[in-house]
Structure 1
Amino acid sequence: MTISLPATAAALSVVLAALCLLVVPAAGFYLPGVAPNDFEKKDHLPVKVNKLTSIKTQLPYSFYSLPFCKPDTIVDSAENLGEVLRGDRIENSPYVFEMRVPQMCQIVCKISVGEKEGKVLKEKIEDEYRVNMILDNLPLVVPIQRVDQEGAYFYQHGFHVGAKGQYSGSKDEKYFIHNHLSFTVKYHRDAQRDVSRIVAFEVKPYSVKHEYGQWNDKKTHLTTCDPNAKRIITSSDSPQEVEAGKDIVFTYDVDFKESDIKWASRWDSYLLMTDDQIHWFSIVNSLMIVLFLSGMVAMIMLRTLYRDISKYNQLETQEEAQEETGWKLVHGDVFRPPANSDWLCVYVGTGVQFFGMMLVTMVFAVLGFLSPSNRGGLMTAMLLLWVFMGLLAGYSSSRLYKLFKGSEWKNIALRTAFTFPGSVFTVFFFLNILIWGQKSSGAVPFTTMFALVLLWFGISVPLVFVGSYLGFKKPAIEDPVKTNKIPRQVPEQAWYMNSIFSILIGGILPFGAVFIELFFILTSIWLHQFYYIFGFLFLVFLILIVTCAEISIVLCYFQLCSEDYLWWWRSYLTSGSSALYLFLYATFYFYTKLEITKFVSAILYFGYMLIASYAFFALTGTIGFYACLMFTRLIYSSVKIE
C-alpha cells in the first residue's frame, strides 16, 4: 500500500493541531479572562524564590546556591520551555505569610558562615546580584523614590544580596548582607465577600547584626528586635558583616496594606516604567523616514516610470529602441537567475519563516494573549511558532527555486531546514557550555537541549519538506519577459552605484526606523526589565516593513537605470545590511550602557547579539527582496517587448 505525500501532509497537520492543543497552554499563552486568586483572612501565602540575577555578569544562579535559609523540603515548580531557556529556577522558601495578618521580627533561621560560604557571598555582593522572589505570581520589587517627580516611585526588580562599604571609621571596604526583609503586601479587598486579591509585593532590605542571649531556634528573643514595641533596629550603626566564623540571623517583617489598585491593573506599575513620549518620538522619527521614502517611490512610480513606459511603448522601430538607454534595455537579462541562486532561495525561505513568526507573535501580544505574568511564555510561543512556520519556509524557498528553473527541490528543502537553525544551534551550544562552566542556573539542561533538537528534527524539518513539496508541485511563476541566451555586458558603474556602497547606504534607513525602540528592547533583555509595549513595537514593525520595501525599490530602480541587471542578491543585501548596523549599535550599547566586566559575560552578550543580528538580516533582506521582485515584475509587464 502506498501513501501519497499530500495525504501524509494532511495527517501530519491533524497531529500538529492536536499537539498545539497540548503544548500551547504550557507555552505560556495568557487568556485575559483567567480568574484571580481570592484569599480569605489567615489563608497561607507561600513565597517562592527565583534565580539570582546581575546586570554585571548576566549569569543567573539558583537562590540556594548561596547560604540562605532553606525549607524542610525544596520543591521545584513546574517550568515551561521558555522559563528553562531564560534560566528561571522557581522553588519554595521558608517565608510563609498569613493573609492580612502582620508579623514583626519573625526569625527564619541562623546560618553559620564558613570560608567557602563567605567567599561566595562576597563574590555575589561584589557583582551586585539581586534576589528575586514571587508571591501570587507577582515578582518582588523594591520601591525607589523618583528624583524628578515628588511622590512617584520606580521599581527595582528584586533586592541586592548585600552592600559593600566602609564601617566604623575603617578605611577598608567590608561586605554586609541584607539579612532582614521588611515586606509590604498590598491587597484589594472585596468587602461583600470578605476576600482579598494581592496587587503588589514590595520589600525594603536591611542589614542588621542581631543580638540575642541564648539561641532557641525561632523562639529566640532578639534584643535588636522587639515585636511588642513593633520596631526593629535597622540603623546602619549595626550592619551584619559577612565574615567567616560568624553567624547570620535571617529575619523578616510583613505588613498588609489595603489598596485601590484592582487585580486587573496590578501589573501596570511593573510595565509602565518608561515614558510613552519617547516611544511616540520613535514612531514620529520612523514615520518621517517612511514619508521621505514614500515620496521618492511615488516620484518614481507616478512620474519617471509613467513617462518611461509611455515613451518606450511609442517607439516604432528597433533602431529607435537601441538608441534608448535605461532600465528597458536590460529586459532580456533582468530575470536571469543569479549566481548562487540556491543559497538565495534558502535565505528567502528563512526570512519568510521569521516574518511569519514575528507577525503572529506580535498580533497575539497586541491582542493581550501574551503576558509577562506567564514567565517564559513569550519565548516559548516564539520558539513554537518558528517550528511551525517551517511549512512557509519550505514553500517559499521551493517556489523561488522553481522560478530559477531548478529541479532538485529536496536539496533546497534540506538546506532550508538546516542552514540557519544549524548555525544558530552551534553558537547556542557553545555559549551553553560556557554558562555550564560557570555553574550558572542559566545553563540549559541536556534534557531541554534534547527537546529542542526533537522540535527541530521531529517537527520543523518535516514541515519544511512538506512545504517544499507543495511549493514545487505548483506551476512555475512565468517571467513577464523572455530572457536572452547570451548575457548582456554590464557597463562600468559610477562610484555611487558601486554594489558595496549602495548596500551599506541601503541599510541605514531601515535601522534608523527602529533604533530608538531597539534601545528599550536591549534594556529589557540585558538590564532585566519588563517590556510589554507591544502596540508601539507592532507599529515600528510595520514601519520597518515599509521602509525595507521602499529603500530596496528605490535603489533597485536606480540600479536598473544604470543598466545593471544583477539585482537579485543586491536587493536582499540592501535592506539586509541593516543587521550590520544593529550589531554595531549593540556594540555601542555594550560599552556605554552596560557594566559587564567578565570575559565570559561579554562572550555571551556578543554571541546572543550575533544570533539576533543574523535573524534580523534574514528578516529585512527577505522583505526587500520580495518588494524588488514585485516591483520588477510590475514594470516589465507594463511595457511592450517586441
Structure 2
Amino acid sequence: MRRTNESAAPAAMGRSTLALVLAILISLQGTPHVRSDASDHRYKDGDSVPLYANKVGPFHNPSETYRYFDLPFCVTGHEKDKTEALGEVLNGDRLVSAPYELSFKKEKDSKVVCKRKLTKEQVAQFREAVKKDYYFQMYYDDLPIWGFIGTVDKEGKTDPSEYKYFLYKHIQFDIHYNKDRVIEISARMDPHSVVDLTEDKDVDVEFVYTAKWKETETPFEKRMDKYSQSSSLPHHLEIHWFSIINSCVTVLLLTGFLATILMRVLKNDFMKYAQDEEAADDQEETGWKYIHGDVFRFPKFKSFFSAALGSGTQLFTLTIFIFMLALVGVFYPYNRGALFTALVVIYALTSGIAGYTATSFYIQLEGTNWVRNLLLTGCLFCGPLFLMFCFLNTVAIAYSATAALPFGTIVVIVLIWTLVTSPLLVLGGIAGKNSKTEFQAPVRTTKYPREIPPLPWYRSTIPQMAMAGFLPFSAIYIELYYIFASVWGHRIYTIYSILFIVFIILLIVTAFITVALTYFQLAAEDHEWWWRSFLCGGSTGLFIYGYCLYYYYARSDMSGFMQTSFFFGYMACICYGFFLMLGSVGFRASLLFVRHIYRSIKCE
C-alpha cells in the first residue's frame, strides 16, 4: 500500500499524546511502589503513623460500599476526612482518620477506644451488617487492612431464624517494622470478645484494640510484594500459562488454516482470472471479481460508520497506553485510584485521535457535513456512558453508598470534558478535514449497484457475527475469569504481561476471522462488506457480555439491586467499548485485504 498523509497526523498526534502520558506515568508512580501522606515513610519511636478508615460493605458486593462511620462505631470527635485524588473518589474511597492510635513501635495491650450503649436501632443496624458479611477496610501508612465486623453462629441450626449474630469488639493489630519503617500490618478479630446482637435490645459495648510490634528483615521496597503473591502462586500461574498455550494453539491453527485456504483459493482465483482475460475478454465473470465495480461502493450511514471507526480507534489507543503503564508497574496493588485516573486523563488526551480518524475517513467517503460527524463521534461512546452513569449514580445516592460521586468530582469531570476532551476532538476533526486525502480504491466503482443474489440463512449478518465472535472469545475466556474476579471481587491481578499477550492474540484472531468471513462474503457476490466486517469484528464484545450473565449467576455471590445495576450497567459500557474497538480492528484488517486482492487482478 502507498503511504498517504492519512497516517502522518495521527503519528504526530500519537507522539504528543505519548509525551503527556509519560508525564502522567511519572506523576502516578511517584516513589517506587509506595505513596503516603508521610513524606518519606520514616518514623521515630512514638511518632504518629497515619491510620485511615476507608469503607465498609457486603463482602460479595464490591460496588456496594459505605462510609466507615455510617455504622455506629466509636466516634472520638477528632475524625478528619482525608482529601482524595480523582481516581480515589471514582474508586469509591472515602478515607477518614480512624479512632485507633497506633504510634510507631508503641505497643498497646487491650486499650479501650470507647464505651457506649447501642440502642435497639443500632443493634439492628449492626445485626443486618453482620448478616450480610460486612467487612471493613483501613489504610495504615498506605498498607491495607481488612477485617469482618462480626460473625454468624450457624452451628447445628438449619432455620435462619435460630442463627445468632455477634459483633467483634476487640481488634488485634500485628505490625512488622524494619528499622524506622513500617513493613506489614494485619488485623485479627478476637473470636472470644464479642457482643450478642441476636435480640433487639440495648447493649453495652466496650470497643478495645491491641497493638503488637515485631521486627522483620523484609526491605521497605518489597513490602507490597505479598499482595501480588496470590496471582503468582504456581497453581494460578499454571492456569494462566494454560490459557496462553490454549490461545496460541487456537491462533496457530486458525492462522494456519486460513492462510492455507485463502492462499490456495486466491492463487486459483488469480490464475483463473488471468486465463479468462487471455481466453475471452467478454466471458462472464463470477465470484468476487464479478463485483469489482461495487466492492468499494461507500457504505450506508457513512457518518455513523466513520464515527464508530473513530471512537474504536481512540479506545484501541487508550487500551495500548493503559497496557504501557501497567507493564512498567504503575498499577501495583493498592495504588489507590491510579487506574481510574489514567483512564480519565488518557481518554481525554486521545480524543483528538477519534476526531481526526472519524473526520478524515468521512471526508474520504465524500461526506459533506463534517461538523455533524464530529459531534456524533464525540457522543457515540461518551453519550451511552454518561446516561448509564446518571442512572447508576442516582442508584448509589439512593443507597447512600460511596460509589455516588460528590458534586465537586462531577464538576471536575465536566471541566475535563469541556476544556480538554472537546477542544482536542475539534482540533483532530479540523486536522482530518484539512488532510485532503482521497480514498485509495484500486478499482473503479460503477454508477449503479449490482443486485445481491439470494443467500442462505447462515450467510446473513447475525450467524456471521456469531461465528466471528466465538473464536476470539474462546481464546480469552479463561483469562476473563481472573479479570472479573479482580474487577468485581477482592482478588488482585498483577500479571499484566500475560494479559497483554492475550490481548495481542485477541487482536490477531479477530483480524483473521473477519478477513476470512469477508472473503467468503465477497465470493458469494455480496458486496456490502463494510458494516458486516465491523459488526463481525466487534461481536466478541457481545460474547463477553454473555459471559457476564454466566459469571454473575454461576461464579459470584453478588446480589441486590445496586450491585446488579452496577455490574450489568458498567459491563454493558465496557463491552460496548470492546465492540467499537474490535470492530475497528476487524474493518481495518478487511480493508487491507480487500484492497490487496483487487489490486492483484486486472479489472476493466
Is it true that 1:70 corresponds to 2:110 in the alignment? no
Q: Measure the CA separation in 2 of the matches of 1:196 and 1:321.
A: 90
How far the C-alpha of 1:494 sits from its partner, in A, is 3.0
Corresponding residue for 1:105?
A: 110
User: CA distance change for structure 1 residues 356 and 13 in 2, over 3 Å: closer, same or farther?
Assistant: closer
**Could you list the per-position Cα deviations for residues 48-80 of structure 1 after superposition, in whole angstroms to 9, with x for gaps in the alignment?**
111113244431100011111234322122211
Counterpart position of 1:369: 330
- The answer to whether structure 1 residue 54 and structure 2 residue 16 are counterparts is no
2:319 corresponds to: 358
1:248-282 superposed Cα distances (whole Å, 9 cap, x missing partner): 11111111222333222222221121311111111
* In 2: Cα distance, 1:30 partner to 1:308 partner: 59
Q: Post-superposition shift, 1:397?
A: 0.8
**Are residues 570 and 322 of structure 1, via their aligned partners in 2, closer, same or farther at CA, if it must alter by over 3 Å?**
farther
Q: CA 1:510/1:167 → structure 2, altered by over 3 Å: closer, same or farther?
A: closer
- 1:181–1:203 contact (8 Å) kept in structure 2: yes
| Segment drifting more, 596-605 vs 84-93 | 596-605
1:396 alignment partner, one of 333, 339, 357? 357
Partner of 1:40: 44
Q: 1:506 corresponds to which residue?
A: 468
SS at match of 1:52: strand
Q: For residue 101 of structure 1, what is the amino acid of its counterpart? A: K
* Letter matched to residue 240 of structure 1: V
Call closer, same or farther: CA 1:30–1:509 in 2, change over 3 Å: farther
Q: 2:147 aligns with which of 145, 149, 159?
A: 159
Aligned equivalents of 1:468, 1:257: Cα separation in 2: 61
Most deviating of 450-459 and 374-383: 450-459
User: In the aligned structure 2, how far is the partner of 1:539 from the partner of 1:422?
Assistant: 31
How does 1:85-96 map onto structure 2 within 5 Å? Answer: 85-96=90-101
Superposition map of 1:530-545 within 5 A: 530-545=492-507
In structure 2, do the counterparts of structure 1 residues 39 and 168 end up closer, same or farther at CA, with 3 Å as the change threshold?
A: farther
Q: 2:598 aligns to what?
A: 636
Instruction: Verify the 8 A CA contact 2:46 2:104 in the aligned structure 1.
Output: yes
Taking a change above 3 Å as real, the CA distance of residues 307 and 52 of structure 1, as seen in their structure-2 partners, is: same
Q: Which letter does structure 2 place at the counterpart of 1:424?
A: L
Paired amino acid for 2:47: D
1:15 to partner: Cα distance? 12
What's 1:219 paired with? Answer: none
1:459 equivalent in alignment to 2:416: no
Q: What is the match of residue 227 of structure 1? A: none
2:138 to 109, 133, 137: 133
Q: Given that residues 71 and 93 in structure 1 are in contact (C-alpha distance below 8 angstroms), is that contact kept between their aligned partners in structure 2?
A: no
Q: From the superposition, tell whether residues 607 and 404 of structure 1 become closer, same or farther in structure 2 (CA, over 3 Å).
A: same
- 1:601-612 matches, within 5 Å, as 601-612=563-574
Work out which of the residue numbers 109, 115, 119 in structure 1 matches 2:124. Answer: 119
Aligned-pair distance for 1:41? 3.0
- Aligned ranges 1:578-593 → 2 under 5 Å: 578-593=540-555
1:174 matches 2:131: no
Cα distance change on mapping 1:19 and 1:352 into 2, 3 Å: closer
Q: Secondary structure at the match of 1:94?
A: coil
User: 2: CA distance between counterparts of 1:362 and 1:464?
Assistant: 23
For residues 355 and 301 of structure 1, the distance between their equivalents in structure 2, rounded to whole angstroms, comes to: 27
- What does 1:188-587 align with in structure 2 at a 5 Å threshold? 189=178, 195-207=179-191, 234=192, 239-242=194-197, 244-274=201-231, 275-316=236-277, 319-320=280-281, 322-474=283-435, 475-587=437-549
More moved, 260-269 vs 573-582 = 260-269
Superposed displacement of residue 136, structure 1: 1.2
State whether residues 30 and 370 of structure 1, in contact with CA within 8 Å, keep that contact through their aligned partners in structure 2. no
Contact 1:167 1:174 in 2 (8 A): no
- For residues 363 and 534 of structure 1, the distance between their equivalents in structure 2, rounded to whole angstroms, comes to 10
**In 1, distance between residues paired with 2:50 and 2:520?**
66
8 Å Cα contact 2:64/2:562 also seen in 1: no
Moved more, 256-265 or 580-589: 256-265
**Counterpart of 1:45 in 2: which secondary structure?**
coil
Q: Would the alpha carbon gap of residues 385 and 182 (structure 1) be closer, same or farther in structure 2, given more than 3 Å must change?
A: same
- Compared CA separation, residues 55 and 319, structure 1 to 2 (3 A): farther
Q: d(CA) in 1 for partners of 2:592 and 2:482?
A: 34
SS at the partner of 2:180? strand
Instruction: Tell me the CA shift for residue 38 of structure 1.
Output: 2.5
Query: How many matched pairs?
Result: 579
Deviation track 1:75-105 (CA, whole Å, cap 9, x = no partner) reads 1222111111111011111212232333211
Deviation at 1:167, TM superposition (A): 9.2
Q: What's the secondary structure of 1:566's corresponding residue?
A: coil
Task: List per-residue Cα deviations over 1:174-202 (Å, max 9, x = no partner).
Answer: 32111101111122x3xxxxx33222211
More helix by share: 2
Q: Does 30-39 or 380-389 show the bigger shift?
A: 30-39
In structure 2, distance between residues paired with 1:111 and 1:528: 33
Cα separation, 2, equivalents of 1:608 and 1:537: 21
Relative to structure 2, which stretch is displaced further, 339-348 or 41-50? Answer: 41-50
Q: Distance in 1 between matches of 2:229 and 2:34?
A: 22
Tell me the SS of whatever aligns to 2:210.
strand
For 2:378, give the aligned amino acid.
Answer: A
Q: Deviations over 1:536-595 (max 9, x none)?
A: 111111111111111101111111111111100110111211111111110111111222
Match for residue 589 of structure 2?
Answer: 627
Q: Give the structure-1-normalised TM-score.
A: 0.85
Higher mean displacement: 329-338 or 458-467: 458-467
* Separation of aligned partners in 1, 2:583 and 2:282: 34
Partner of 1:184: 174
* Aligned residue identity for 2:474: G
Residues 33 and 332 in structure 2, CA contact (< 8 A), matched pair in contact too: no
Inter-CA distance 602–34: structure 2 relative to 1 (3 Å threshold): closer
Single out whichever of 168-177 and 501-510 deviates more from structure 2.
168-177
- Taking the aligned partners of 1:545 and 1:268, their CA distance within structure 2 comes to 31
* 1:53/1:59 contact within 8 Å kept: yes
Change (3 A) 1:440 1:33: closer
Residue identity matched to 1:206: D
Normalised by the length of structure 2, the TM-score is 0.90
Q: What displacement does 1:445 show?
A: 1.2
**Cα deviations across residues 464-512 of structure 1 (Å, max 9, x unaligned)?**
1111111121122321111010101111223332222111111011111
Equivalent residues of 2:33, 2:224 under 8 A apart: no
- TM-fit CA distance, 1:374: 2.1
Given that 2:21 and 2:346 are in contact with CA atoms closer than 8 Å, whether structure 1 keeps it comes out as no
Superposition deviation, residue 13 in structure 1: 12
> How much has 1:34 moved relative to structure 2?
6.5
Cα-to-partner distance string for 1:344-367 (whole Å, 9 max, x where unaligned): 111111111110101011011101
Q: Which 5+ residue runs of structure 2 have no aligned equivalent? A: 1-9
In the TM superposition, structure 1's runs of 4+ consecutive aligned residues that sit over 6 Å from their partners are: 12-26, 167-171
SS of the residue corresponding to residue 204 of structure 1 reads strand
Following TM superposition, by how much is the alpha carbon of 1:335 offset from its aligned partner in structure 2, in angstroms?
0.7
SS of structure 2 residue aligned to 1:315:
helix
Cα distance between partner residues in 2 of 1:309 and 1:464: 43
